[in-house]
Structure 1
C-alpha cells in the first residue's frame, strides 16, 4: 500500500510584524453634511466617527494591500523573499478574476508565492489570520503575509447616510511565522447564515444593512464569542491587555468591552477606538487598529490582545494573540 508523506510544520506561530495603509484624502462629518441630510452631532452620536479616509482614483484594493504588506514585512525585519504565502481578505474587489493575492505578491516582491483571497466580510482578517497560523503549523507555509484590504467607497451609495457615513478605505497587514511559544491562539469562529439578509448587496451595486438589527446582534452575540476565544486560548478575561474588535461602530465596541469587563476583564484594558478617525474599513480594521495603537504607544510588545471580527454572513471569528 502506497503511503503519502505528510508535511510537519512549526510547533506554534506568532505575529512577526504589522503594517497599514490609508488614502490621503480625509472626509469629515461636516464634508458629508454638504451632500446629504446629516450633521456632525448626528454621526458622532450614532456611530462615533468624526472623519474617515476615502480612496483617490489611483488607490485600489491591491495598491493599498501592497503598501500595508510591505510595511508589515519590513516591521518583521524580513525581506519579501522570506515570505512564501500571501492571503488577502477582502469583499470589495471590483472583479473576481484575477484575485488580489497574486497581484499583491508580485508587486510586494514575494515571487512565486502561494496566494489566495478570502471573503468573510468584516470578519475576514481574523479568518485569514487563523488560516495562516494553521498553514504554518501544518507545514504548508513558512511565513505568511496576511492582509485585509478594502475599498468600500466603490460599493457604498455616496449619498446614503445609513452607509456613507460609516464606511471607508484602508488596508492592514501582519506577517505570521513560526514560534517556539504560542503567539496566536485557536480561533473561535462561525456563521449565522439565517441572518444573511441583514447585510447584503442588492443588484451587486451598493451595500445595504439593517443597521438596528446588526447593532442588536453585535452587542448581544459577539461578547460570548470573544469569551470562547479566551477559553480556547486558556486565558482569563483579566489576562487581556488590549481588546481590538472590528471597528464597526464605536457604540458596538464599547458594548463589547462593557460585557467583557462584567465577565472579569480589567478596567485598565485598552480598547481600540480607531473607528473615530478611520471609519469602518471592514477586513482592514483590526490590523490597522493594532498598527495605529502601537504607533501611539497604546499597545506594546508582549501585550495579550483579543481580536474579534464580525460582519456580513453573518460571519464572526476571534482569537487571542501576543502583540509583536
Structure 2
C-alpha cells in the first residue's frame, strides 16, 4: 500500500525501493532501472564510502548499471549491495559472461552514509542488518516513493536536525530530471538563526512551507552544524542520484553528476567538507533525442536545483 505522502514517479523506466530497521535506526534505498542504464558518478566529500565507482570511470569496459544502492551503516552498509547483486543475479539480471552455468554479473554501484552514532542498537556482532535490508529494499522497488525518515535516510541527521530521504523533479526542454537524495550532511540546511531553508529560492508549489528570510536578515556564524557537536570524521555524508530520460552519453552523465553536486552547496553549508563523503550518481533511463552542450548545461543546472530541493524536502519531511 502506498504511503500517504508517496510520489508517483513521472519518469518511466525506474523503480525505487526502501527498507529500514527501527531498532538499529538505519536503512537502505535501491534505485532499479527497468533496463541496464548508462551511469556516471561524482565524489566530492573527503570521506566517501563506495563500491564499484571505479567501474564507472570513462573509458572502462562497463558503462551501464543494473541498480544503485544507497545505505546507512558506514562501511557495514556496503553489504546491502551484495544482497541486491545476489537478488538480481538470481533473476538473471546482469552481464552474461558466458552460457549457463556461468552466472550473470549484476553491476550495482553503491554509496553509504554514517549513521552509526544516532543512538540505534548497533550491537549487531557479526550479523549487521544490511544484507537483509538490501534484499528487502530490492523486493519493495516500485514506481513511487515516500520521503522523510525512510530508506537510506531513516537514521540520518542534517546538522543537528533529523535528516531524511527526499525526491524532486524538474522538466527542462522536454527532458525530465529527478533527484533522489539521502541527506546526512555535517552542515545545516537552514539559514543561521532561522528555520528557513538555504534552498528557499528554489521552492516549488509551497513544498518548503513558503518560508522566506526576514527582510533585514543578515548571515551569522551557524551554531546548528555537526561541527558544533561532533569533531570526529565520518559522521556525515549526502548520497544520492540524479536520473533523466534524456539520452546522455557517459561523458555527458559525468558532467551531469558534477553539476548536480552544486545542489549540495545550494542547500547545505558547509558542504563537501573533509568530514563528508558526498557522492552523486547520474543515470540516463530514457530515449529522448541526443543533446548538445547548451542543452546539457540546462539539464545540469536543473539537476543541481533538484538536488537542493530533494535534500531540503527530505529534511523537512523527517522533522
Q: TM-score range by the shorter chain?
A: under 0.3
TM-score normalised by L of structure 1: 0.25
Higher helix fraction (1 or 2): 1
